[in-house]
Amino acid sequence: MPTSVNPATGEVIRQFDFLDAAEVDRRRNLAWDAFVEWRDISFAERSGCFKRLAHLLESRVDELAKTMTEEMGKPITQSRSEVEKCAWVCKYYAENAERFLSPSELDAGEGKHYTRFDPLGPVLAIMPWNFPYWQVFRFAAPSLMAGNTALVKHAPNVMGCAENIEQLFKEADFPEGVYNNFPIRVEEVPLVLQHPQVRAATLTGSDRAGAAVAQEAGRALKKVVLELGGSDPFIVMPDADLEAALEGAVASRTLNAGQSCIAAKRMLVHESIEDEFINGLINRFRELQVGDPRESNTNVGPIARSDLLDNLAAQVERSVQSGAQLRFGGRRMFDRGFYYQPTVLGGVRPGMPAFDEEIFGPVASVTAFSDADDVAELANRSSYGLGSSIWTRNTAAAERIAQDIEAGLVFINRVVASDPRLPFGGVKRSGYGRELSREGIREFVNIKTVSVIG
């Protein structure tokens, strides 16, 4: 049974129900019937729906943020920012979808030749808990503006957020069935994917979950987009603006208590500034306010679930046993709730969990390097390839390094972020396909060639 547990206290908030078989069929049929009409609705009408949706999000920031903070522990100021970002992506696609999907003329000799971008149909979206509003809207805004409909299976610990989103779509006057809350069991996903009415799938989550969904989608010959884990390198060159790099490192490593796929997880720091960088991290981590995520002065809230906290603590312990140096933190906090002290590990090397695995918590893992020419090779010593950042005053050199980094995103002198205007996605075990920008809205469309003679 899906259960919301307050990670700040460990107390159960509410329990929910999965859909029974009849309701699964009803909502899937509803999504298909809605698609048949929604795909023929004009961009202007779809845009109007999303503009109303954006207005509702902006008018209910505090209410929506409160649910998120209670269900997964995000500090309330960060929760408010997430809701506001959802409104932004709704407005972005309301304003740009028609331009992104306008027919494209082709030069192929005599006659008229062009491509159309037609929607595919209902898309099964399997969403994570760490950004429970943003991840949904990041998928829904481009996909629905393109003319598709959505069946959204949200994470079982944030079902209150899932219900809020469904209600917002209803109040924004989207036609019934365009957006469907779809709380099904994990074992039901293959059956849904195999059904001919479901035309594609997307998943944001672990690489293990992504591999399972990709296997089922491949068996059914369905398009799938996967945004999976990350172990992002945060490269600090010897000529970097150290204050800016430290500020970025702390922000990236502690936002959402470090529970982000694109959080900087492996800090690769030139040996000439390693001690200064680590000491700077420790000093800043000491000043962070860890505590009640409802309080506006809290910087770091709890880990979202008790099992995630156990795994994080074990990863740090195994890394220290493998030779990493515990420079700061490394312990659970408080008598109740799922809190972990912001932590700094030095002397981290390949082969340690803190280097090889995705660390989902407020832990900074520092690895020193000596040769700038080899830093890309060190950055690439990961099975993941989502984001990365380079901090240096020599941006031309950073752009040359960026060519060699195996990642979907390379940010120079700024923290990696998802932005509606920029394509987002990864390579290797971080998945494939793109979200956001023009590339994102073209993932779930049929790129159809039309060639006319006479």
Q: Cite the active site residues.
A: 227, 261
Which phi-psi region, left, alpha or beta, contains residue 109 (left: φ > 0; alpha: ψ -120 to 50)?
Answer: left
The amino acid occupying position 48 is: G
Q: DSSP of 242-292, one letter per residue? A: HHHHHHHHHHHHHGGGG--TTSEEEEEEEGGGHHHHHHHHHHHHHH--BS-
Give the angle subtended at the CA of 320 by the CAs of 318 and 326, to the nearest 5°: 140
* Bridge partners, 201 (sequence order): 124, 224
Whole-angstrom Cα distance, residue 348 to residue 340?
Answer: 20
Bridge partners (DSSP) of residue 365 are 266, 345
Query: How many Cβ atoms are within 10 Å of 57's Cβ, its own excluded?
Result: 24
Q: Please name the residue that has the structure tokens 């990350």.
A: 230
The strand pair at 232-236 and 389-391 is best described as parallel
- Radius of gyration over every alpha carbon of the chain, rounded to an integer in angstroms: 23
Return d(Cα 45, Cα 145) in angstroms, integer. Answer: 10
Helices (H), 288-357: 306-321, 353-356
**Which residue from 35, 3, 26 is spatially nearest to 148, judged by alpha carbons?**
35
Determine the Cα–Cα distance for residues 261 and 265; give it in Å rounded to an integer. Answer: 9
DSSP string across 111-122? SEEEEEEEE--E
Q: Any alpha helices (H) in 128-181, and if so which ranges?
A: 134-145, 159-171
